[in-house]
Amino acid sequence: MSTTITHPPTDILVLGSGASGAAVAWRLSNRGFNIVCLEQGRWIKPEEYPNEHADWEIQARTNWAFDPNVRGLDEDYPINVDESPIDPLMFNAVGGSTIHWTAHTPRFHPSDFRVKTLDGVADDWPLTYDELEPFYDTYDELMGCSGINGDPANPPRKERPMPPLPIGPDGERIAKAFDRLGWHWWPSDSYVNSVPYKGRKACNNCGNTGLGCSLGAKGQTDVAIWPEAIKNGVELRTNSRVFRVDTDENGRATGASYYDAEGNENFQPAKAVVLAMNGIGTPRIMLNSASEVYPDGLCNSSGLLGKNLMFHTYAMVSGLFQDDLKTYKGALANMILCQEFYETDQSKAFVRGYTYQVARSSGPISTACGHMFGRVPWGAEHHAQFARRFSDVTVVGVIGEDLPEEHNRVELDPDLTDSNGIPAPKVYYELSTNSRKQLDDAIENAEKVLHEAGAAQILATPFLKVAGWHLMGTARMGDDPKASVVDRWGQAHDADNVFIVDGSVFVTCAAVNPTPTIGALALRTADYIDRERSDLKS
Amino acid sequence: MPDTECKISDADRLVLSAVMDLIVPPVDDLPGAGEMGLAGNAEELAGRIADYGEALHRVLEALSLDPSARAEGGFVALEEDQRIAALTALESSMPKYFDKFVDLIYIVYYSDERVHRHIGWRSGPLQPLGWELPPFDPSILETVSRREPFWRKA
């Protein structure tokens, strides 16, 4: 008979140590709260990162794959994707998916918070860009943002802490093509150090930002936030896999139950629980926390928990050039972006828009097996085709704004479990007609710019399957408890001591990478807790 | 299939080597992937990673069952065009395994330092050397900076 290990109570229990969990823990520990954070993964040492090993490209396709179903590590959980054309991607370790991300960090536009008002689709957010702006600034400083002011496609903002990363000769080539077409472009904002920053080194352009940075040059929360949070007194408990948020007879959270590395059941009591496990992990555990009070899952009186899942829809258009620019040099996806087609254009057959995120090529195995486009053919044509694709390729990646739809959702799989027997999530997703039209338009315009830049050949991948980097919308925020899971502060409508701070709370997803917005929202929630909830502090 | 169990027979190893020469044929001074002696590397990787192991076994098994390979001498005795036809047929009939198999061959081929020298790639880990790039030059912004702000007010 197993015995539950019960720990001393804490003020705030944070579930997940990634982009948002780290931010909340840091902010609230600065304000005197006692914090415990539970992370199902472990600390990863810099020397473990693939970029420190000659077989880095093999690791990128196996034990370091973006896809947890491919990686299959003990700390991962499987995801049933039988009903989804997009594979969700994530990483489980101290730092969460910031270990694995490419750290491309544009902000939402002011209009992104008002899509119902402006374009008559989806819903408005219950907050504005202006309200979020100071938190964006703080998160930029925490993680370390490289970039430059003056972008005509975005509002003026505080100076970034660092100048832009090098855009390289390949970046200049495509930037000039955008100029000739009269289209917008701007150096990407990136949480990658262009110069030494807060004791962390500058990026040395090794290329594969998506594999964890052993230099510490990338904004991963394990190096950018956790050291200070731990110094503040936060207890970060690793190899701790939460399976349930526990509640009392009134529906208020009492803490969370989890398995430790030995498989023992533990209970961590807390005055409040903050969920920060990403747009799939958070609804998974909330659905698994059903109780008498919450028969359909924790804080799910709206019935919307797990619904409205948004990915960004991706297409890739690659230009093969013949200038031998060695385009594998430089941070993979942190060159420039274009937001010429960001907003709704009434002349087009779709609403909302897309961003182009321009990316580089990669190493020889990635090239041969298919990096951003298909595999190089085998046989007589192999070497000629490989040579064309290897060292001078610029990829115009399309990030389309995916609109929320209730049928796109996360549920618990009735059969599949992780290694502790916790039900795995099953994802249901259909690409909308609007998204397909967006992508088609984006491909056509991407081909124009690559042609203008002098590409000898252009290859389009019309829809990218391994593209579920951004997991959003499954516990949306709003003022109406019937139409949202959390309020404007990330506090559950159904329980005043349950907070959600990851991408689950997104109302819409804009057409940009979400992490700065996730981080800013998390800091804003933390400030709310500090300001309004002194009852949660010992 | 459990990891570490990917033993193939000597005969299959010969077939694998011949297939690898067709997947990645000779180029300039480099022989094909099989003749370079990379079949053992493929076998080793297939033994470590179950998906590749399964793909390798499925492809070799399918080739052994191919009618043209049942002739005396088997697959390795076929003419080159017959071998290519056999592989092309497999690519159509079992794409999932064939694709993974081709990935396996590409991975071992493009992990080899002789190949790296040929394509001009620096072998070894990406760190600590990284790559040199000139720092960002703001003069590139001259044209786009002249544009009036056009972000949508909300």
User: What are the DSSP calls for A71-94, one per residue?
Assistant: H--TT----EEEE-SS-B----ST
Adjacent-strand bridge partners of A259:
A241, A265
On whether any CB of chain B is under 8 Å from the CB of A356, the answer is no
Contacting residues for B45 by C-beta, under 8 A, at least 6 apart: A58, B52, B104, B107, B108
Does any domain span residue A436? yes
Does any domain span residue B3? no
Partner-chain contact A110 B151, CB within 8 Å? yes
Does any domain span residue A50? no
Our count of domains for chain A comes to 1
On whether any CB of chain A is under 8 Å from the CB of B141, the answer is yes
Residue B67 has pLDDT above 90, yes or no: no
B68-105 pLDDT, tens per residue?
666 667 888 889 999 999 999 999 999 999 999 999 99
Secondary element (H or E) of residue A247: strand A241-247
Q: Is the dihedral of CA B112, B115, B117, B122 positive or negative?
A: negative
Q: Which of 199-238 (A) contact B at CB < 8 A?
A: 203-208, 214-215
What phi and psi, each to the nearest 5 degrees, are found at residue A113? -90, 0
Does any domain span residue B5? no
Partner-chain contact A178 B144, CB within 8 Å? yes
Using pLDDT thresholds of 50, 70 and 90, give the confidence band for residue B3.
very low
Nearest to A40 by CA among A80, A99, A95: A95
Across the range B10-28, mean pLDDT stands at 95
On whether any CB of chain B is under 8 Å from the CB of A120, the answer is no
Q: Which of 48-107 (B) contact A at CB < 8 A?
A: 49, 84, 87, 99, 102-103, 105-107
Does any domain span residue B32? yes
A2-61 pLDDT, tens per residue?
689 999 999 999 999 999 999 999 999 999 999 999 999 999 999 999 999 999 999 999
Going from the C-alpha of B83 to that of each of A333, B43, B77, B98, the distances in angstroms are: 41, 21, 9, 15
Q: Which residue of B has its CA nearest to A168?
A: B133
R_g over Cα of chain B: 23
Does any domain span residue A258? yes
Q: Is the dihedral of CA B43, B44, B48, B49 positive or negative?
A: negative
Q: Which domain holds residue B132?
A: 10-145
Q: Which of B51, B136, B145, B153 to mutate to test the interface with A (most CBs of A within 10 A)?
A: B136
- Burial class from Cβ neighbours inside 10 Å (0-12, 13-18, 19+) for residue B3 reads exposed
> Chain A partners of B45 at a C-beta cutoff of 8 Å?
58
> Chain B partners of A167 at a C-beta cutoff of 8 Å?
136, 140
Using pLDDT thresholds of 50, 70 and 90, give the confidence band for residue B2.
very low
Higher pLDDT, A271 or B64: A271
Residues of chain A with pLDDT under 50: 1
Q: Which of A378, A385, A401, A508 to mutate to test the interface with B (most CBs of B within 10 A)?
A: A378
Does any domain span residue B2? no
Out of A203, A206, A368, the one facing B110 most closely (by C-beta) is: A368
In three-state secondary structure terms, A235 is strand
What's the ipTM?
0.94
Partner-chain contact A184 B150, CB within 8 Å? yes
Distance CA A62, CA A459 (A): 26
Q: What is the pLDDT of residue B4?
A: 46
CB contact at 8 A, A285 and A245: yes
Q: Which residue of B has its CA nearest to A172?
A: B140
Does any domain span residue A58? no
Structure tokens, A528: 């709310």
Residue B6 has pLDDT above 90, yes or no: no
Where b means 16+ CB within 10 Å and e means fewer, A231-245 reads ebebbbbbbbbbbbb
CB contact at 8 A, A152 and A177: no
Partner-chain contact B103 A179, CB within 8 Å? no
Does any domain span residue B73? yes
Does any domain span residue A51? no
CATH of the domain at A353: 3.50.50.60
Nearest to A278 by CA among A68, A17, A485, A65: A17
DSSP per position, B40-101: HHHHHHHHHSHHHHHHHHHHHHHHHH-GGGGSTT-GGGS-HHHHHHHHHHHHHH-HHHHHHH
Residue B1 has pLDDT above 50, yes or no: no
Q: Which domain holds residue A238?
A: 5-43+64-84+91-536
Our count of domains for chain B comes to 1
On whether any CB of chain B is under 8 Å from the CB of A343, the answer is yes
Q: What is the pLDDT of residue A135?
A: 98
Q: Is the dihedral of CA A39, A45, A46, A47 positive or negative?
A: negative
DSSP alpha helices (H): ranges in A85-207?
A: 115-119, 129-143, 168-181
Partner-chain contact A379 B148, CB within 8 Å? no
Does any domain span residue A54? no
Does any domain span residue A113? yes
Does any domain span residue B152? no
Secondary element (H or E) of residue A265: strand A265-275
Q: What is the pLDDT of residue B69?
A: 64
Partner-chain contact B103 A113, CB within 8 Å? no
Out of A62, A118, A194, the one facing B49 most closely (by C-beta) is: A62
> Chain B partners of A390 at a C-beta cutoff of 8 Å?
119
Distance of CA A463 to the CA centre of its chain: 19
